[in-house]
Structure 1
Amino acid sequence: MTAHAASVWTVVPQRRGSRHRGPEISPTRNAPDGYAKAPIHPGFSTLEKLIARQWREWSSVRIVGDGSAPGVAMKSAVKQVRVIKSSDSAETIGRQRQRLIPCITTETCGATGISAGMVTMPPGAVSKAHYHAHSEIVVVCLRGRAVTLIGPDLTPYFHGPGEFIYIPDGVVHVAVNFEEADDLLAVEMRTDPLFNDDVVLTPEYDARVPEVVVRLRLDRAGS
């Protein structure tokens, strides 16, 4: 394999009056302050095209990488690669009556289209009926057994450790810890970058939830 000399792609704004519409892209060994010095060899023409295409939309472009792969264009310095421990994040109680630990959010790392965090529910806990107005969600249980009641009919969907459930935006649901002796622990990912900003409560369904849960528990006991 041929070795390539390490270089850094930087973006140089086009001079006023130039007939070229995009920025000039040039490799340099000393990127200016504010640009990550990611080693990108000149063979990655795809990267050039990506930067040129996004230049008009973005007020600044940063190239990041560890030297092992092509860099990634990021919108601004606010976005950053971070490792966040859930134990270092503050727990909040959501409007839907769930214990939430937001980890990946706009606030923590500049995310603009996704968020992730932990959800915990004590034994037998039931959330309030709600939906997420604009965001899709994915939940994966790490510990415990959950049942999520979906839609106006509160249709039950059971899911446990290693199982993923996807819920589209606008779909009414109720989270239930189906275990009566153990906590439920789950990771939840949402397209709401603030993690719990677009929750809408639907109290008209709450009165029917206890009856549905009791029936499900009786069915399990009899099976």
Structure 2
Amino acid sequence: MTAPIFAVHCRPRGAETRPLPDGGLTTHILYAPTVPVERMSATRVLLPGGRILPPQRHRTAESALVMLSGYAAVLSGPTMAAALPAIGDLIYIPVGVPYAVVNLSRNAAVLLLAITTDPDFDVGTVAADEHSNTVADRAVALRAEHLERITQRRASNPRRRR
């Protein structure tokens, strides 16, 4: 593939949006051969309220998740340790590390930007089903903790009377 000598402007098209397991949507926005990338790809991931992006791993690619909106937990590693990224935070996932994304809200969607060093995006992605039960159990506890945090925040910040 010959490298372009100028920047490439790529707008995602509806045909590039695909359903994910459990009702999410992914829109590929940077991938070969649509864009002449050699070492990376990117997709927007929309995860509806109450949903989980099932455990997976990338056999040959590094990945990064950037939180764009919503409340999520990223569970990763052999014990599915939880990270709670804020909007704008980046979660780096090394090659071969299993991970899952849990939408902590029952109603609001989570929007992520997923970037990987696989130019075809998901060629080396495999399910990590051995972590499914752990993720499901952790999701229940994490959602309860999230609800408690939101409730406390609202209770400690009453609206001012006018």
TM-score per shorter chain, which class? 0.7 to 0.9
Once residues 113 and 3 of structure 2 are traced to their aligned partners in structure 1, the CA distance between those partners, rounded to angstroms, is 27
State the one-letter code of the partner of 1:176: V
CA contact under 8 A between 1:133 and 1:199: conserved in structure 2? yes
What residue number does 1:169 align with? 95
CA contact under 8 A between 2:22 and 2:52: conserved in structure 1? no
Q: Aligned with 2:137: secondary structure?
A: helix
Normalising by the residue count of structure 1, what TM-score does the alignment of the two structures yield?
0.60
Say if 2:134 is the partner of 1:208: yes
Q: Aligned with 1:159: secondary structure?
A: coil
**Could you list the runs of 5+ residues in structure 2 that have no partner in the other structure?**
150-162
What residue number does 1:219 align with? 145
State the one-letter code of the partner of 2:36: G
CA contact under 8 A between 1:78 and 1:109: conserved in structure 2? no
Say if 2:116 is the partner of 1:190: yes
State the one-letter code of the partner of 1:186: L
Say if 2:65 is the partner of 1:139: yes
Among 20, 23, 32, the alignment partner of 1:106 is: 32
Question: 1:177: how far off?
Answer: 1.2
Once residues 103 and 44 of structure 2 are traced to their aligned partners in structure 1, the CA distance between those partners, rounded to angstroms, is 14
Q: Aligned with 2:54: secondary structure?
A: coil
Residues 191 and 222 of structure 1: CA distance in aligned 2, closer, same or farther (over 3 Å): same
Residues 84 and 215 of structure 1: CA distance in aligned 2, closer, same or farther (over 3 Å): same
Residues 81 and 153 of structure 1: CA distance in aligned 2, closer, same or farther (over 3 Å): same
Once residues 197 and 173 of structure 1 are traced to their aligned partners in structure 2, the CA distance between those partners, rounded to angstroms, is 17
Among 123, 130, 133, the alignment partner of 2:49 is: 123
CA contact under 8 A between 1:93 and 1:100: conserved in structure 2? yes
State the one-letter code of the partner of 1:191: T
Say if 2:10 is the partner of 1:84: yes
Once residues 222 and 96 of structure 1 are traced to their aligned partners in structure 2, the CA distance between those partners, rounded to angstroms, is 25
CA RMSD of aligned residues (A): 2.3
State the one-letter code of the partner of 1:93: P
Which of 1 and 2 has greater Rg?
A: 1
**Structure with higher RCO (Cα < 8 A, 6+ apart):** 2
CA contact under 8 A between 1:96 and 1:130: conserved in structure 2? no
CA contact under 8 A between 2:41 and 2:117: conserved in structure 1? yes
What residue number does 1:30 align with? none
Structure with greater helix share of residues = 2
CA contact under 8 A between 1:97 and 1:128: conserved in structure 2? no
**Could you list the runs of 5+ residues in structure 1 that have no partner in the other structure?**
1-74
Once residues 204 and 185 of structure 1 are traced to their aligned partners in structure 2, the CA distance between those partners, rounded to angstroms, is 26
Once residues 57 and 34 of structure 2 are traced to their aligned partners in structure 1, the CA distance between those partners, rounded to angstroms, is 24
What residue number does 2:160 align with? none
Among 103, 107, 112, the alignment partner of 1:181 is: 107
User: Size of the alignment, in residue pairs?
Assistant: 149
Normalising by the residue count of structure 2, what TM-score does the alignment of the two structures yield?
0.81
Question: 1:147: how far off?
Answer: 0.5
